[in-house]
Structure 1
Amino acid sequence: MEKQLHKSVVGYFLHLSKISEKWNVLVQSAERPLNNLKNQEEQLRMVSDCSLDNADLFSIDSTLRGKLIFKINVCMEDEIALISEIDSQLNNLVQGLRNKFTLLEAARSEVNINAEEMEELVSGSPYRPGLDLLMKWAIDSTNYYSELYSFINASLRSLDCKKEKTIVNLIKAFEQHKNTQAKIDGILGFTQFVAKEIE
């Protein structure tokens, strides 16, 4: 039982380290389609603005306007498809982390922490924090990524390409991790040796 718990602890924090890296790569890959989407929304707004019809500098006949609007809408759909794929990959990362956490909880519930063979795992060592702190960090990190993903997913679901505010909200949702990443970096710093124990 003690070996299974140790394996689950190591597996969780190794997985957390990989997820942190993958999450950052995916969020960074979303920057381009998000910026493109914002630019295309501005273009659509300008082309669709009927008040510009009578302007001397900007005059478009209705056929050309229709073609431009169609082309911009197609480009926006392509960007949304890319963002949706990134959202799906983020969801998979969060589900994988939740699964690892469930395994960790199950292994923790099956052991007697007062048993003699559990002393090192419970108390910790110079290279490994104690079990209570590891469990707290596992809960915190699982909640952290779950909440980040929920915010991104909710912003994507409420996206309306004709409303700049919803696009800005989606961009902010993807950027939110930059402000709170220090929490996960701290956990990863304290658990870096735990994640290497199997190697």
Structure 2
Amino acid sequence: MEKEFEKFILGYYLHLFKIDEKWKDLSKTAERPLNSLKNQSEQLRLVSNKLLKDTTDIGYPEGLREKLIFKINVGIEDELSIILEIINQMNNANQELKSKLKKLENARSKIDPNSVEMKDIVFGTPLRPRMDLLMEWALDSNDYYDKSYSRIRKCMKALDCQDEESIDNLIKSFEPDKKGRANMDRILGFTQFIAVKNL
């Protein structure tokens, strides 16, 4: 049973390292469409301004304003679809991590921490932290990505492309929480040797 538990510990933390890299990559990928969304939304606000309602008075052809608004809206929709796909990939990554955590918790419930075979797992080794810390960090890391996704999703749901603050909030939601990120870096640092054989 201890071998099965070790397998799930290893599986969770190996996956955690992958998820962390994936989130960093996805957040970086989101920068371009988010900035483009901000720029196009600003253009939409300018073109939609009531002062520019009648462009024919200032020498522009009739219907130009409507054509501009349509073109800008198409661009905004394109950027939103890219952002939604990125958010969807973040959610998929989170679901994979949750699945690994459930398997780990299930394996943990089946072991006897008092057995002799579990001594190194329960008390740790020079290369692997104690079992209680590994379980605590697994919960903390899962919670970090869950909260990060929830924050992004909440801002996406509240998005109003005519409201600059709403777009700024969405952009900020992709930035990692400083305290949470520092804790994640600590967890990743303490668990980097977990895959070493014969612990």
Structures share a fold, TM > 0.5?
yes
Corresponding position of 1:48: 48
Q: Quote how far apart the aligned CAs of 1:60 are.
A: 4.3
* 1:64 pairs with 2:64: yes
Corresponding position of 1:132: 132
Structure 1 CA distance, aligned partners of 2:105 and 2:74?
46
Structure 2 CA distance, aligned partners of 1:61 and 1:178?
51
Corresponding position of 2:32: 32
Can you give the 5+ residue segments of structure 2 that lack an aligned partner in the other structure? Answer: none
* 1:152 pairs with 2:157: no
Q: Quote how far apart the aligned CAs of 1:52 are.
A: 3.8
Q: How many residues align?
A: 196
Q: Quote how far apart the aligned CAs of 1:166 are.
A: 1.3
Q: Deviations over 1:71-92 (max 9, x none)?
A: 0000000000000000000000
Instruction: Map 1:3-152 to 2 at 5 A.
Output: 3-52=3-52, 60-152=60-152
> TM-score under structure 1 normalisation?
0.93
Q: Give the % identical residues.
A: 52
Q: Deviations over 1:29-55 (max 9, x none)?
A: 000000000000110011111224589
The 1:178/1:117 distance shift into structure 2, 3 A limit, reads same
Q: Quote how far apart the aligned CAs of 1:141 are.
A: 0.2
Moved more, 175-184 or 14-23: 175-184
- Whether the 8 Å CA contact 1:152–1:174 is kept in 2: the answer is yes
- Whether the 8 Å CA contact 1:122–1:131 is kept in 2: the answer is yes
Structure 1 CA distance, aligned partners of 2:177 and 2:31?
13
Can you give the 5+ residue segments of structure 1 that lack an aligned partner in the other structure? Answer: none
> TM-score under structure 2 normalisation?
0.93
The 1:12/1:162 distance shift into structure 2, 3 A limit, reads same
* 1:186 pairs with 2:163: no
The 1:6/1:82 distance shift into structure 2, 3 A limit, reads same
The 1:179/1:140 distance shift into structure 2, 3 A limit, reads closer
- Whether the 8 Å CA contact 1:14–1:196 is kept in 2: the answer is no
Q: Which has the higher contact order (CA 8 A, sep 6+)?
A: 1
Q: Quote how far apart the aligned CAs of 1:154 are.
A: 1.1
* 1:195 pairs with 2:195: yes
Deviating runs (4+, > 6 A) in structure 1? none
Letter of the aligned partner of 1:95 in structure 2? Q
Instruction: Map 1:161-172 to 2 at 5 A.
Output: 161-172=161-172
Q: Quote how far apart the aligned CAs of 1:59 are.
A: 6.1
The 1:122/1:97 distance shift into structure 2, 3 A limit, reads same
Letter of the aligned partner of 2:90 in structure 1? L
